[in-house]
Amino acid sequence: MTLPQPGPAGDPVADLSALLGQLAGDPSDTAPPAATPATEPTEAEPVYRNVEAFVGDYLAHVVERRLASGPTSGVNWCPRWWAHPEAISRLYALWRAWETLRVSDPQTGTSIWWRDHLDPHLAALAAEYGPFSRCGPDKHTEPKPLPVEPAPSEVLAQFLDAGSS
């Protein structure tokens, strides 16, 4: 491909049009190619239809940990994970992160997911004081929410005032 030489009038628009025609593969076409309409990226279908399918069909099969059978013998896990609000929230976040990273970063997304998502969430779930701490592979203990007292109105007013300045 040769670059077009400026015409007698040295018209830069005509020169650019000729170059675009050559780049498009038609040296006789001096008009710039028509712009193609931008296509919206399509969202990939999730592999797992919901968090339950993700936990049961994927997570339970790829995570290999020795489960606790006593106070210090392994990782705490609850087969009724869905009965623990914190577990639902964390496992839902893990599922969404996994679905996103498998599409957005097919080369290293899985490694990032293990390091940045699964490892910290699983550690929190299975921790000595985590939501599964009183459960075991064959035992579920109902979760107890943190105690909360209603905040006094003067405290709430401070938060409202701070947000408006």
Does the pLDDT of residue 141 top 80, yes or no? yes
Q: Decide if 4 is inside a domain.
A: no
Identify whether the C-beta of residue 38 lies closer than 8 Å to the C-beta of residue 17: no
Q: Is residue 84 part of a domain?
A: yes
Task: Look at residue 111 and tell me if it is in a domain.
Answer: yes
Residues 11-62 have pLDDT tens digits of 666 666 666 666 666 555 555 555 556 666 677 899 999 999 999 999 999 9
Domain limits at 83?
52-61+75-126
- Percent pLDDT > 90 in the chain is 53
Cα–Cα distance for residue pair 82/52, rounded to 1 Å = 8
Q: Answer whether residue 142 is part of any domain.
A: no
C-alpha to C-alpha distance for 77 and 131, rounded to whole angstroms = 9
Q: Is residue 121 part of a domain?
A: yes
Rounded to whole angstroms, the Cα distance separating 134 from 84 reads 11
Is 92 part of a structural domain of the chain?
A: yes
- In the predicted model, is pLDDT for residue 162 greater than 80? no
pLDDT score recorded for residue 159: 83
Strand partners, 63: none
Judge whether 99 lies within some domain.
yes
Query: What's the farthest any 2 CA atoms get from each other in the chain?
Result: 91
For residue 135, pLDDT beyond 80: yes
Q: What is the mean pLDDT of residues 96-119?
A: 96
Total domains in the fold of the chain: 1
Can you name the residues that pair with 75 across neighbouring β-strands?
67
Per residue in 55-73, pLDDT tens? 999 999 999 887 776 656 7
Report the distance separating Cα 16 and Cα 81, nearest Å: 64
